[in-house]
Amino acid sequence: MATTSSAPNSSSTAAATGSGATRVVQGETRTTPNFEHVITQKKSYAKFKIIIPGFATKGNGTRIFVRVMRNGKWTWLSTHTDDLELAKLWKQKYDRKAWLLKEGFVEKEAAVEDQATRQKPENNQNGKTQNTKPNNSSSLTVDDILDNYVGAGHPTVRKRRLKPKAPRSIKNETDCLRPLREYFRSKLASGTTLGDCDEYRAWRNGGGYLAKFMLRGHAVEKKTKGGDRSVDLELIVLSNAFELAVRQGKLETNPIRDRGRYADEANIRHCREVAPTPKGLALIVAWLISKGFPQDANLTNYLAFTGERLGEALSSRWAQVQWADEIINVKRLKRGVFPFVLLLPELAALLRRMKRKAKSDLLFPSPFNPATPRDASSFRRRLAQAARACGLSHVTPQGLRSYFVTQARQSGLTDAEIAQLIGDKTGPSLISEVYGDVRPDHLLAVARNIKLTARTRQIRNPVVPRKSRRKASRRNRR
């Protein structure tokens, strides 16, 4: 029996010894190269040539690259230009984009993801296919949500309907939109958190908002502090915009629904707390006249004698004064009721003095343009300045409205009648909780009528039973 000797594997031997292995493939002798001695040359890349710190060229120098941070690492990005000034602008754009991505923002100019993957059609209950729109809520910014809210007319979102707001409420919400847009800018709506609300509060109370307003006919810019009450009102407007987007299917949920409130209701000043007394009102008017502000003095008296809101008074014209009927036609704000003000003797005397010096159809025209009403913010500042100068507590135009309510209450009118007079549709509940007050002197004067020891009921000619009459007659005979 022949024996065959098995030769060792040439490839394994070559690998073990490090030498090349020889094999025959279709009559050709091929030698496997020695892998230990094969030198692989790495591909050479052009080096960056630094122009200035952070800027470099590469290769033939037709493009400038900038060094930026991406995902925690430094890298070079092309600016697509060989102009250094344009390259600096590109670097600013890259740095801003990196900051926006880090803070959860996106650029407003970024294209919306129209090429998002479309969802497969689903079958409805009838078995028919229906196309479902892709959800682009991830690309919506706070600015987009606010623009949608403004375009819808600032509606009040209810479960089954959208209730329109009054023009005055829309104006107040428009003022609240300015600091909201200034802070949130192009932040992702779906990425807004309750922590963002806390940071917005710190930014607002720290004077981060630059307000623009008119002062003495000139445009003024000033950093202002909002306060917790203002922050709550502004974030309520933002929450309303989110609720509308949820109703329209543009957002899945309202991210700040459970925000709560920053202002403590116990610290909120009501109108009655910023109202002057009759003596304080006389001091304020006298100070304004002595300082050369007769129009402010007349407006202060007018608000106290009519109970109108400041916006209602500033838009009043002389054609609305009906001297024969002794009333003033008023265009109420906030869907107010009873568009009349009674010309009481003090008010009539004030209007006659104003009429003799009137130079415009408006009762209170602007000193810079008689065709436009007086600026409301300047009067508020002047009224607060007068109160401080007279040593009084803070007084506001709404406090002058409360002054009228208090005088009407002390004159014997009911809260329902007073609510009708000042055009408030809420009714007597708001009068008693917010506006109404009774001054100590009036309360003491009324309390003096209390009788603590007098009988509450006196019986005249009491009826005596017959048995008692007989006993009394017998005693009299004896």
Residue range 54-69, pLDDT digits in tens: 888 887 777 888 888 8
pLDDT digits (tens, 9 = 90+) for 196-205: 999 999 999 8
| Same-domain status, 366 and 408 | yes
pLDDT number for residue 107: 45
pLDDT number for residue 240: 92
Domain assignment of residue 37, yes or no: no
Domain assignment of residue 472, yes or no: no
Range scoring the smallest mean pLDDT among 130-134, 254-258, 262-266, 438-442: 130-134
Domain boundary residue, one of 267, 301, 321: 267
Instruction: Give the number of domains in the chain.
Output: 3
Whole-model pTM above 0.75?
no
| Same-domain status, 56 and 88 | yes
Domain assignment of residue 183, yes or no: yes
| Same-domain status, 228 and 318 | no
Q: Which residue has the higher pLDDT, 331 or 271?
A: 331
Angstrom distances, CA of residue 346 to CA of 103, 301, 304, 342: 61, 9, 10, 11
Over residues 455-477, the mean pLDDT reads: 60
| Same-domain status, 310 and 242 | no
| Same-domain status, 348 and 440 | yes
| Same-domain status, 94 and 214 | no
CATH code of the domain covering residue 179: 1.10.150.130
C-alpha to C-alpha distance for 76 and 201, rounded to whole angstroms: 38
Domain boundary residue, one of 267, 299, 323: 267
pLDDT number for residue 33: 53
| Residue corresponding to tokens 């292995």 | 21
Instruction: Count the Cβ atoms, other than its own, within 10 Å of residue 1.
Output: 2
| Same-domain status, 383 and 420 | yes
Domain assignment of residue 475, yes or no: no
Angstrom distances, CA of residue 472 to CA of 148, 173, 209, 462: 94, 84, 93, 15
- Average pLDDT score over the chain: 79
pLDDT digits (tens, 9 = 90+) for 418-462: 888 888 888 887 777 777 677 778 778 878 888 887 665 555 565
Confidence of residue 109 (pLDDT cuts 50, 70, 90): very low
Task: Tell me the longest C-alpha to C-alpha distance in the chain.
Answer: 175
| Same-domain status, 208 and 229 | yes
pLDDT exceeds 50 at position 477: yes
CATH code of the domain covering residue 434: 1.10.443.10
Q: Which domain does 281 fall in, by range?
A: 271-447
Angstrom distances, CA of residue 229 to CA of 93, 158, 255, 267, 455: 37, 24, 21, 10, 52
pLDDT number for residue 450: 83
pLDDT exceeds 50 at position 174: yes
pLDDT number for residue 317: 94
C-alpha to C-alpha distance for 347 and 328, rounded to whole angstroms: 10
| Same-domain status, 325 and 294 | yes
Domain assignment of residue 56, yes or no: yes
What phi-psi label fits residue 237: left (phi over 0), alpha (psi between -120 and 50 degrees) or beta?
A: alpha
By the 10 Å C-beta count (0-12 exposed, 13-18 middle, 19+ buried), 63 is classed as middle
pLDDT number for residue 325: 92
Domain assignment of residue 34, yes or no: no
| Same-domain status, 204 and 244 | yes
| Same-domain status, 348 and 217 | no
pLDDT number for residue 116: 39
Q: Which residue has the higher pLDDT, 226 or 476?
A: 226
pLDDT number for residue 241: 93
AA identity, residue 67: R
pLDDT number for residue 478: 60
| Same-domain status, 250 and 286 | no
With vertex at residue 363, the alpha carbon angle to CA 357 and CA 367, rounded to the nearest 5 degrees, is 75
Domain boundary residue, one of 238, 267, 296: 267
Domain assignment of residue 161, yes or no: yes
Domain assignment of residue 123, yes or no: no
Residues facing residue 314 across a β-bridge: none
